[in-house]
Amino acid sequence: MKKNNISIIILAAGKGSRMKSNKAKVLHEISGKPMLYHIIKASQEISDDITVVIAHQKEAVQATMESYFDNINFVVQDADNYPGTGGAMKNVHPKNNKVLVLNGDMPLITADALKGFLEIDADIIMSIFDLEDPSGYGRVVIQDNHVQYIVEQKDANEAELNVTTVNAGIYAFSKEVIEKYIPLLSNDNAQEEYYLTDVIAMAKKDGLTIVPLLVDEEHFKGVNSKKDLAESEEIMQDRIRTKWMQAGVIMQLPSTIYIEESVVFEGECIVENGCRITGESKIVNSHIKAHSVVEDSVMINSDCGPMAHLRPLSHITDTHIGNFVETKKSTLHGVKAGHLSYIGDAEVDEGTNIGAGTITCNYDGINKYKTLIGKNVFIGSDTQLVAPVTIEDDVMIAAGSTVTSGTIKSGNLAISRVKLRLIKDFYYKFFSKK
């Protein structure tokens, strides 16, 4: 999308007390990324001049956003003296004449959904939608087809509370409107806050043009509580899944699958029900079977699950990972690990078979150590590989072995077993059955 001559201001300074959390509201995550991240990402598609207003936990909010984006301006709100969305606008200095103001708690917004604000020419464009249950939102009072004012729920009388047209929380102002009306706001209201929404009534009185833009909740939903967060997550997940299904991924019972926004699929992939795929995972021509979890991992021409767990930095190619297998920070190429294993800090090469119950003992309580396994190795079931350990190509490890020596040379069999003892009729004596 072409960048427009528009400045964007995102209000992200509020406490978010209704979230009942020590974490700043705008840092709560949707599909693996903070809410504010999604808003800045959409904003960047249409503007080069983005300002985020911060105050509550300002260091954390700024540092988190700077880890994702360059070129964002941060302005600190004097929230002690000027609390509220109007107070948040006091120190902003947008470059352009047209200024889009977005609440920082609207993670579902997209650049496309903001298009309407760019196309209309008016002193103020404000977003509205109609809701059966408008609770929580500011009500928009419209008479004779003209917006008169916005009243916050806490300040509304009974008639106003029954209004179902609500303020969605995005506005386009001309710079002059901001410069003129923000200094005139008062905090004479139920919350003793400076409301940005009061600009509407003042501008109306002065005869300015105020255009209401009808938008949909699917893009403009505000998140004030953990319930709103969960509802927004469902909408975002639906979007992410739809995008990947359109790109060719098969999903079985998609509504049970969770995929973070940074995950990438390529080629022909199948994701079965109940899977969770997170972080920077990249899935290429692979099949993730039911109830598996894949975190920050790469799968190429491979399958995993059901109920497999690929933990961060697993990199598997041409590999079969079966049920109840956990991998972590390991590279497996052309490997079969069919059942019940832990493979951590390991490199495993082509043609190798990892028997059921194999464990890489990678941690001694202080440090982590590597397990290197070569080509065509046969690891029998219930083997413990006490790292650091190297198994060269063409090695056989007998079932039930504990491998502690540093290197097992090519061609060898490693076997460590207690010799089997047979005690005649012990069972019958023990249970006094005879």
List residues near Mg ion by CB under 5 A.
Answer: 105, 222, 224
Candidates 4, 165, 174, 224: give the one binding ligand UD1 (CB under 6 A).
224
Report how far residue 379's alpha carbon sits from residue 339's, in angstroms, rounded to the nearest whole number: 12
User: Computed from CA positions of residues 68, 74, 79, 85, in that sequence, does the dihedral angle turn out positive or negative?
Assistant: negative
Q: DSSP per residue over 271-339, as a string?
A: E-TT-EEETT-EEES-EE-TT-EEES-EEES-EE-SS-EE-TT-EEES-EEEEEEEEES-EEES-EEEE
Q: Taking CB under 6 A as the rule, does residue 195 contact ligand UD1?
A: yes
Is 339 assigned a catalytic role?
A: yes
Which residue number, 84 or 305, has a Cβ lying nearer to Mg ion? Answer: 84
Q: Taking CB under 6 A as the rule, does residue 137 contact ligand UD1?
A: yes
Which residue number, 83 or 380, has a Cβ lying nearer to ligand UD1? Answer: 83
3-state secondary structure of 120: coil
Which residue number, 51 or 77, has a Cβ lying nearer to ligand UD1? Answer: 77
Q: Which two tokens stand for residue 348?
A: 């495993």
Reading phi first (left if > 0) and then psi (alpha if -120 to 50, else beta), residue 94 is in beta
- Asked if 297 and 315 touch (Cβ cutoff 8 Å), the reply is yes
Binding mask 287-326 for ligand UD1 (x = CB under 6 A): ----------------------------------------
Q: How many residues bind ligand UD1 (CB under 6 A)?
A: 30
User: Could you say which of 38, 291, 309, 339 is catalytic?
Assistant: 339
Which residue number, 77 or 224, has a Cβ lying nearer to Mg ion? Answer: 224
Task: Determine how many CB atoms are found less than 10 A away from the CB of residue 19.
Answer: 20
Q: Taking CB under 6 A as the rule, does residue 104 contact ligand UD1?
A: yes
Q: Taking CB under 6 A as the rule, does residue 89 contact ligand UD1?
A: no
Distances (CA, A) of 375 to 85, 352, 353, 408: 63, 6, 9, 13
Residue 67 φ/ψ, nearest 5 degrees: -75, -15
Name the segment binding ligand UD1 (CB under 6 A); options: 164-172, 304-312, 322-330, 388-396. Answer: 164-172
Which residue number, 88 or 387, has a Cβ lying nearer to ligand UD1? Answer: 88
**Nearest residue by C-beta to ligand UD1?**
138
Task: Determine how many CB atoms are found less than 10 A away from the CB of residue 163.
Answer: 18
- Asked if 127 and 170 touch (Cβ cutoff 8 Å), the reply is yes
Q: Pick what 408 binds: Mg ion, ligand UD1, none; C-beta below 5 to 8 Å, kind-dependent.
A: none
Candidates 6, 8, 9, 12: give the one binding ligand UD1 (CB under 6 A).
12
CB of 169 to Mg ion, least distance (A): 6
CB of 405 to ligand UD1, least distance (A): 60
Q: Pick what 196 binds: ligand UD1, Mg ion, none; C-beta below 5 to 8 Å, kind-dependent.
A: ligand UD1
Name the segment binding ligand UD1 (CB under 6 A); options: 102-110, 250-258, 291-299, 404-412. Answer: 102-110
Task: Determine how many CB atoms are found less than 10 A away from the CB of residue 121.
Answer: 11
User: How far is it between the farthest Cα atoms of the chain?
Assistant: 105
Q: Which two tokens stand for residue 371?
A: 């397990």
Q: Taking CB under 6 A as the rule, does residue 34 contact ligand UD1?
A: no
Q: DSSP per residue over 184-242, as a string?
A: G----STT----TTHHHHHHHHTT--EEEEE--HHHH----SHHHHHHHHHHHHHHHHH
CB of 171 to ligand UD1, least distance (A): 9
CB of 342 to ligand UD1, least distance (A): 43
Q: Which two tokens stand for residue 68?
A: 């994702």
Which residue number, 31 or 167, has a Cβ lying nearer to ligand UD1? Answer: 167
Q: Taking CB under 6 A as the rule, does residue 77 contact ligand UD1?
A: yes
Of residues 361-380, those binding ligand UD1 (CB under 6 A): none
Residues in touch with ligand UD1 (CB under 6 A): 11-14, 25-26, 53, 77, 79, 83-85, 87-88, 103-105, 137-138, 150, 152, 166-169, 195-197, 222, 224
Active site amino acids: 339
